[in-house]
Chain A
Amino acid sequence: MTAAQAAPRPAVGRRGAGSAALGSGRLLRLELRHNAMLWLLPLAFALFWYNGYREIMALPPMWNLRAITLQNRLLFDLMVPATGAAAWMGSREGRRGITDLVAGTARPRWSRQLATWAATTAWAEVGCVACVAVVYLITARQASWGGPLWWPAAVSAAGVPALTAIGFAAGAWFPGRFVTPLVTVVVFFGLAFGTQAASGDHSYWQVSPLIAGAFDIGAAPGVASFYPYLPDLSIAQVMFAAGLVVAILGALGIPVARMRWLAAAVTAAGLAAAGTAVALAGTGRLDPHGMIVIPALHDASNDQPVRYTPDCSRTPIPVCVHPAYAGFLPAVTAAVGPELTEFAGLPGAPARIGQVAAVYRQDPGNGITVSGGRTGAAAFVLPDEVPGRLGTTGAEFAAQLDQGFGLQLMTDVILGGADRPAGTAPSQAQLAVISGSVRFPPSVESRDLEPLYGRLLPEPGSPASLAAKRFAALSPAARHTWLAAHLAALRAGRVTLAQLP
C-alpha cells in the first residue's frame, strides 16, 4: 500500500520538471523569434567583413596567423551589435513601461530575463560561429600544413556572452533611450582600449579576450608553428569571460526577493572565477616560442616540439622549411639561389640548410627581442614579417632574406661561422667576397646596411668595395670555381684584394 501510494510522486515530479522545461523552451523560442540581435546580424557580418575578414584573408594561409588575428578582430566586430542588441532587449520592459504588467506572470522576472538574454546570446553566437566557420573553412582549403586552432575561436565564443550580459544588465537596470548607445560606447572603449594598458608578459590586462598570446608579438608566423599553441592564456580568458557572465546574470536576480541569496551566491561565484582568472593572467611569462605560459595552467607536454616533415627545395644546397612555410619556399630560393649555387660543394658549406624556430625574449615594458635559435650555416630563421602580414610586400620579404639569411650564409662560410676566433676582424678581401656574393634587392637602402659596414661589408667607395663589384660581376659558377680554389686561403686571411678576380 505504501509502495503503491509513493509510486505516483516521482511521476508528478517528472511531469512538473518536463512542463517547466517545455515552458522554458517555448519562452526561449518566442524570444528567439522577437530578438533585436537577429536583425543586427547583417550589421555584424558587414563589420566583420570590413574590419576582420579582409585583413585575415590577406594574411598568408597559416593557421596560427589567421586564428590569432581572428581572435583579435572577431569580438571587436561583434561588440557593437551584440552589446547594443542586448542592451536594447534588456531595457524592453522598462522602455515600454510594462514592468508592472508582466510582474504578475507565472515566471519570476529573473527567469524571463535569462530567457531574453539567452536568445540574444544565441543569435550573437550564431554570428560568431558563422564568422569562424567561414575563415576556418577557407583556411583549411589554402593552408599547406596544420589544422584549426580552436582556442582562439573558443575565447571569441566565450566573449560573446560576456558582451551580451553587460549590455543586457545595463539595459535592465537603466532602461531609457540613451542607455543602449552609452553602454555600447563604454564597452567599446573598455575592450578596445583596455589592451593599451597591457605591458609585458606579467600584465593582468592580458585577460582581455582580444589579446591572443604575447601582446607585442601578436599574430606572428613563428608562434605556434614549431611548438603547439599554448592554451594557458586562452583558458584564463575563457574563465574570466564565464565568471563575468555568471556574476552579471546572478546580479540580475538579486532584486528578486525569493531568490536573493541564490543570486548573491551565484554572483559571488562568478566574481571569484573572474578574479582568479585575472590573477592567473598576471602570473604569465613569455616562453621562448612566443607564447604566454601560466604556470598554474601549464601542461608540460605542450613544450614538446611539433613533429613535421620539412619541405625542401631542389637547389644545389637544399633549403628545407617547416611545411607551414611551404608557400614561402620559392621566395627563399629565389632570394638566395645564386649564393646556394656559389657555395654548393665547397668545404665548410652546409650540405642542407634547415629552418629553425625563432627565439622570443621579453624585454622591459612591451619590448620583445626575436633572435635566431640557429647553430651554424646549416640552420636559418625566416623573418616574422612575411608577405601579407602588416602590409609587408614580397620585395620587402626578399630584402629581409638577403639581409638576414643571405648575409648569414656568406659570413658563416667565408669567415668560418662558429669556428671563427672571437674578436677577429675580417680582412678586406673577405669583406669584398661577402659583399660581392650577396644580392641585395634595390629596396635595400644604404642606411639599412650602414651598421654592417666594416664588420661584414666593406665601406662604400673603399678599395674593398670596388673589388666586391668586380667579384659580383662574375657568374655564380665562376665565383664557385674561384672559391673552390681559394676558400681555405681566404678564410686564413692570406688573400689580398689584388688577388681577387
Chain B
Amino acid sequence: MTAVAVRLVRLHASSRRLPAALVLLAACAAGLRGTLYVHWDDYGALQLPLIFETACAAIIAVTAGSPFGEPERATGRWLPYLRLGTAVTLTGLASGALAAAGTGMPLAGGFPDIVRNVAGLTGIGLLCATVLGGPLAWTGPLAYLVAGVYGLYTDWHPPALSTPWIWPARPPHDAGGALCAAAVFAAGLAAIAIRGARERPAGDGPST
C-alpha cells in the first residue's frame, strides 16, 4: 500500500470521525462488561446485549455521514471502497469488542447472537443513512431496538413473534434470522458503498 493510499484512508477516517467512533465502540463494550456483573432477571439478561449492539450499530451508521457533500463525490473512484471498508471494519470491530466484553460472563446468545444482531442493525442503520442522511441514521437501529426488545418479550408471553425479520427474538443459531440479518447488512453495505449517505443542502441533516 502506498503512502498516498494510507493518507487517503486516514483522511477518510478522520472525515467520518472514526477515532471518536472507535472510542465510543470501546465504551459500549466496556458498558456491556460492566452491566454483565449486575444480576438481571431473565428478561434483562436476554435484552441487555441487544441495547449495546444497537448502540454500536447506531454509532457505525452515524459515521457514514460526510461533511463534504457533493465535492467529495468528484474526487475519484476510491470513495465507494472507502465507505465499504469503513462500514465493514467498524462492524467487525464492534462485534469483536462486544464478544470480548462478554468473555467469561453470562452473555445471552453468545458470539453468534452478537454478530447477527450487530450486522443486521448496522445494515438498517446504513440503509437509513442512505435515505435520511448520516446524522439521522440512528433512527432505524433505535426503532428496531424497540421491536427487538418486544420480540424477546413475546418469547415469554405468547403469541411469540415467529418472523425471522425480528431476528433478535430468534435463537442464536436460527438460519432464518441469520439470513434476514445478513440480507439487510448486505443491502446496507451495497447502498452505502454505491450511493453513500444522503446529503442535504446544509451539509448536516434536515433543516431542523
- Which single residue of chain B is at the shortest CB-CB distance from A78? B146
Bound: A181/B138 CA distance, A? 6
A177 touches B51 (CB 8 A): no
Give, as a whole number of angstroms, the nearest-CB distance from B105 to chain A. 17
Contacts of A80 in B (CB 8 A): 139, 142-143, 145-146
- Which single residue of chain A is at the shortest CB-CB distance from B208? A36
B145 touches A188 (CB 8 A): yes
Contacts of B41 in A (CB 8 A): 196
A76 touches B146 (CB 8 A): yes
Pick from A77, A178, A391: contact of B158, CB under 8 Å: A391
Given A47-B146, A181-B55, A184-B142, residue A96 in contact with residue B208 (CB < 8 A): no
- Residue B202 CB within 8 A of the other chain: yes
Contacts of A109 in B (CB 8 A): none
A43 touches B143 (CB 8 A): yes
Tell me which residues from 49 to 86 in chain A have a Cβ below 8 Å from any Cβ of chain B: 50-51, 76-77, 79-81, 84
- Residue A26 CB within 8 A of the other chain: no
Given A177-B134, A185-B58, A391-B158, residue A51 in contact with residue B204 (CB < 8 A): no
- Which single residue of chain B is at the shortest CB-CB distance from A36? B208
Tell me which residues from 10 to 50 in chain A have a Cβ below 8 Å from any Cβ of chain B: 34-36, 39-40, 43, 46-47, 50
Tell me which residues from 176 to 219 in chain A have a Cβ below 8 Å from any Cβ of chain B: 176-178, 180-182, 184-185, 188-189, 192-193, 196
Bound: A89/B136 CA distance, A? 12
Contacts of A34 in B (CB 8 A): 207-208
Pick from B17, B21, B146, B208: contact of A88, CB under 8 Å: B208
A177 touches B139 (CB 8 A): no
Pick from B21, B138, B157: contact of A84, CB under 8 Å: B138
In the complex, per-residue mask of B13-48: 1 if CB is within 8 Å of any chain A CB, else 0: 000010011001000000000000000110110011
- Residue B192 CB within 8 A of the other chain: no
A35 touches B208 (CB 8 A): yes
Contacts of B24 in A (CB 8 A): 178, 182
Bound: A46/B41 CA distance, A? 28
Bound: A43/B143 CA distance, A? 8
* Chain A, interface SS category: helix
A95 touches B142 (CB 8 A): no
Contacts of B208 in A (CB 8 A): 34-36, 39, 88-89, 92
A178 touches B62 (CB 8 A): yes
- Which single residue of chain B is at the shortest CB-CB distance from A52? B150
Given A185-B51, A391-B159, residue A36 in contact with residue B206 (CB < 8 A): yes
- Residue A390 CB within 8 A of the other chain: yes
Bound: A189/B17 CA distance, A? 25
A177 touches B44 (CB 8 A): no
Chain A interface residue count: which class?
A: 35 or more
- Residue B120 CB within 8 A of the other chain: no
- Which single residue of chain A is at the shortest CB-CB distance from B207? A34
Contacts of A189 in B (CB 8 A): 51
Give, as a whole number of angstroms, the nearest-CB distance from B66 to chain A. 11
Q: Which of B143, B146, B147, B149 has the most CB of A within 10 A?
A: B146
A177 touches B135 (CB 8 A): yes
A185 touches B139 (CB 8 A): no
- Residue B59 CB within 8 A of the other chain: yes
Contacts of A193 in B (CB 8 A): 40, 44, 47-48, 51
Pick from A35, A51, A177, A178: contact of B150, CB under 8 Å: A51
Contacts of A184 in B (CB 8 A): 138, 142
Bound: A391/B159 CA distance, A? 7
Contacts of B204 in A (CB 8 A): 95-96, 177
* Chain B, interface SS category: helix
Contacts of B150 in A (CB 8 A): 50-51
Pick from A39, A81, A181: contact of B58, CB under 8 Å: A181
Contacts of B54 in A (CB 8 A): 185
- Which single residue of chain A is at the shortest CB-CB distance from B161? A50
Contacts of A84 in B (CB 8 A): 138-139, 142
Given A34-B207, A391-B159, residue A181 in contact with residue B142 (CB < 8 A): yes
Give, as a whole number of angstroms, the nearest-CB distance from A215 to chain B. 11
Bound: A39/B131 CA distance, A? 14
- Residue B65 CB within 8 A of the other chain: yes
In the complex, per-residue mask of A161-185: 1 if CB is within 8 Å of any chain B CB, else 0: 0000000000000001110111011
Contacts of A182 in B (CB 8 A): 24, 55, 58-59
Bound: A176/B41 CA distance, A? 35
Q: Which of A40, A95, A176, A184 has the most CB of B within 10 A?
A: A184
Give, as a whole number of angstroms, the nearest-CB distance from B203 to chain A. 9
- Which single residue of chain A is at the shortest CB-CB distance from B159? A391
In the complex, per-residue mask of A77-114: 1 if CB is within 8 Å of any chain B CB, else 0: 10111001000110010011000000000000000000
Tell me which residues from 169 to 208 in chain B have a Cβ below 8 Å from any Cβ of chain A: 202, 204-208
Q: Which of B48, B54, B138 has the most CB of A within 10 A?
A: B138
Pick from B17, B145, B147, B207: contact of A177, CB under 8 Å: B17
Given A182-B55, A188-B51, A391-B158, residue A177 in contact with residue B62 (CB < 8 A): yes
Bound: A193/B145 CA distance, A? 14
A50 touches B142 (CB 8 A): no
Give, as a whole number of angstroms, the nearest-CB distance from A435 to chain B. 31
Bound: A50/B151 CA distance, A? 10
Give, as a whole number of angstroms, the nearest-CB distance from B35 to chain A. 8
Other contacts beyond A39-B208, A50-B146, A80-B146: 5, CB < 8 A = A43-B143, A79-B146, A177-B65, A180-B135, A181-B138
Binding site for A on B (CB under 8 A): 17, 20-21, 24, 40-41, 43-44, 47-48, 51, 54-55, 58-59, 62-63, 65, 134-136, 138-139, 141-143, 145-147, 149-150, 157-159, 202, 204-208
Binding site for B on A (CB under 8 A): 34-36, 39-40, 43, 46-47, 50-51, 76-77, 79-81, 84, 88-89, 92, 95-96, 176-178, 180-182, 184-185, 188-189, 192-193, 196, 390-391
27 contacts between A and B (CB under 8 A): A35-B208, A36-B206, A47-B146, A47-B147, A50-B146, A50-B147, A51-B147, A77-B146, A80-B139, A80-B146, A84-B142, A92-B208, A96-B204, A177-B17, A177-B134, A178-B21, A180-B138, A181-B58, A181-B141, A181-B142, A185-B55, A188-B51, A192-B47, A193-B40, A193-B48, A196-B43, A391-B158
Which 7 residue pairs are nearest across A and B when measured between Cβ atoms?
A: A181-B138, A181-B58, A391-B158, A36-B208, A185-B55, A51-B150, A80-B142
